[in-house]
Amino acid sequence: MDNFTHDPTRICALILAGGAGRRVGGRDKGLLCWRGRALVEHVHGALAPQVNDIFISCNRNRERYAQIAPLAPPDLREDYQGPLAGIEAALSAINQEFILVAACDTPRLPENLVARLALGLREAPHAQVAHVRVDSRDHYLCALLRQESLAGLSAYLNSGQRAVRHWYAQLNAVPVEFPGQQEAFMNLNEAEEFD
């Protein structure tokens, strides 16, 4: 492990937009409109200055998402197996040393997100993952992962496991505090929140 600092050329982002949208009536959440733009466009705009490349992981409406950013391959597993399945499918498209994972329904991500997570990895060189923590609440789908951490992901999923936090526990994940920034990491899930 090197003493990694925030170097955008070594980082790509993967926006997870492949869910079934159960909490929004089955709609494609990433394409729901918030403040005049699709949620995924807000996330893309927040991450673009902080990373080298951005991919979107999605399982439907791929032509629409492709207008925003290059697409990762769709899930290899059927029936919406969760966010880790989206990360697994994206492995063939990702060649940077570090991967920033973010959910498509967090449109207010801070401009120092990647730099702070990178510092977390630098300060904990044993860790394979640094994820956001806000006032004792963990946000596992806002995380920076070392590329090598993904080597065992398929085996984890093949064992029937799906929980992100349990997988991170195997990777010596380290939380990075973002005190008082609850709103920056709040997921939008209610119909009345959208335009």
Q: Is 105 labelled as part of a ligand binding site?
A: yes
Q: How far is CA 100 from CA 42, 69, 105, 113, in A?
A: 16, 15, 15, 10
Q: How far is CA 96 from CA 51, 53, 77, in A?
A: 10, 9, 24
Q: Is 25 labelled as part of a ligand binding site?
A: no
Q: Is 120 labelled as part of a ligand binding site?
A: no
Half-sphere exposure of 73 (CA within 13 A, CB side): 11
Q: Is 16 labelled as part of a ligand binding site?
A: yes
Task: Return the ∠ at Cα 79 (arms to 73 and 83), rounded to 5°.
Answer: 55
**Can you tell me whether residue 125 is helix, strand or coil?**
coil
Q: Is 21 labelled as part of a ligand binding site?
A: no
Task: Return the ∠ at Cα 181 (arms to 178 and 184), rounded to 5°.
Answer: 110
Query: Binding site: which residues?
Result: 16-18, 29, 105
Write out the binding residues for GTP.
16-18, 29, 105
Residue numbers in the known binding site for Mg(2+) are 105
